[in-house]
Amino acid sequence: MTAEQYIELERAAEFRHFFYHGEMRAMPVNPVRNALIGTNLSGNLWGALRGRSCFLGAFDMRTRVTTGFITYPDIVAVCGEAKFADGRRDTLLNPSLIIEVLSPSTEAHDRGFKAQQYRQVESLQEYALVSQSEARIEVFRRQEGGTWLLMEAVGLDAVCRFESVESSVALAEVYDKVAFDAEEPPLRPPAPQGD
């Protein structure tokens, strides 16, 4: 299928899918802790970007990469003019910041395949990975010549700076109400057991 066919199908889909080289694939459901951290972070960024000519999308904003990859980063942002695939404004083409909240089931994919795809986006200046097992945010910043520099913010007293959108967030706020030592609750109630 084409990217345009995928986008039309995805707009009506009950569950989210990513697209790569003509194929649609189901995306994993985010754990509760992932959603809490992502919501805290997007809320903090929204406050920092409020009143500026910036666009912020979280969870349901698709991003299209020239390699043929279309997916839903946890958070995307761009300051200046946001460009979209069409008039529906739900598929961003020019993010300057992409943030993924890591989970045990997606970490290798986020660090590997997704990072490789995102680095092909010419507008992208920063790619951030947010741990859900400890207070840690890794920010990969594009340098002149196409290299990427890793900056880390570690610990609840740390502050993470996103240069691409000229904003900072305190990790204590990103991880508000997150219990690192607690077991992740199930997403759905367990099925009833037979007698």
Which pLDDT belongs to residue 182?
Answer: 61
Query: What is the C-alpha separation between 170 and 164, in angstroms, rounded?
Result: 17
Which pLDDT belongs to residue 44?
Answer: 95
Which pLDDT belongs to residue 89?
Answer: 86
8 A C-beta contact, residue 171 and residue 132: no
- Sequence-ordered alpha helix ranges (H) in 13-162: 32-49, 107-109, 115-118
Which pLDDT belongs to residue 15?
Answer: 66
> How is residue 163 written in tokens?
């240069």
CATH topology of domain 29-174: tt1808, chain A (3.90.1570)
8 A C-beta contact, residue 135 and residue 154: yes
The residue extents of the domains of the chain are 29-174
Query: What is the C-alpha separation between 132 and 101, in angstroms, rounded?
Result: 7
Tally of CB atoms within 10 A around 60: 8
pLDDT digits (tens, 9 = 90+) for 51-103: 999 999 987 888 988 888 888 899 999 999 999 988 788 889 999 999 999 98
Which pLDDT belongs to residue 193?
Answer: 52
Distances (CA, A) of 110 to 71, 82, 103: 11, 24, 9
Averaged pLDDT in 10-residue chunks for the chain of 195 residues? 75 67 65 84 94 90 85 92 88 95 87 92 96 95 95 97 96 92 51 49
